[in-house]
Amino acid sequence: AAIPFPGVLYCSCVKLFGLCAASVGLSEEAAVKLDMKTAAFTVDSRSKHGMITDMKPWTLKVIFDTKTRKVIGSQIVSMAEAPVKEIDTMNMAIRMGAVPEDLITINCAGHPDLSSEPSAEPISIVGVQASGKI
């Protein structure tokens, strides 16, 4: 049986002078140009568990369409490479039509030296922030 091709959702990341940036989906500005009403939520996190000495800060931003409540875009800015895996998670969230409540229960793989604090999972925190507000 043929599998229908749903199209491609562009996901990108770049590292420049020690700063990493990643993006997927629509920015708030692009959504406004499409006459969409949006709500954006931002969470600050750490690249590693708190007990690791060389952890670095990073910020996750998630953009929702207020009409459908679905995730439509996300960006990450970081001083470390580790959070780039979260942009892939947000890519899948957009593809699957995730709403805030879907994000609350996401649990990304955790390792003290390779991932953000599991007790402060930024994607889940964004879900909590957005739930009931959009």
pLDDT tens digits along 14-42: 999 989 999 999 999 999 999 999 999 99
pLDDT, tens only, 94-126: 999 999 999 999 888 878 877 877 777 899 999
Domain containing residue 69: 19-130
pLDDT of residue 83: 67
Is 66 within the bounds of a domain? yes
Q: Can you tell me the mean pLDDT for 68-92?
A: 90
**For position 73, which CATH number holds?**
3.30.390.30
Residue 2 is assigned to a structural domain of this protein? no
100 domain-assigned:
yes
Q: Examine residue 8 and state whether it is found in any structural domain, yes or no.
A: no
What contacts 118, CB < 8 A, 6 or more positions away?
Answer: 49, 107, 110
What's the structural domain count of the chain? 1
In percent, how much of the chain has pLDDT > 70?
99
| 60 within some domain | yes
List strands edge to edge, sheet with 19-25.
Answer: 11-16, 19-25, 71-78, 57-65, 38-46
For residue 10, is it within any domain?
Answer: no
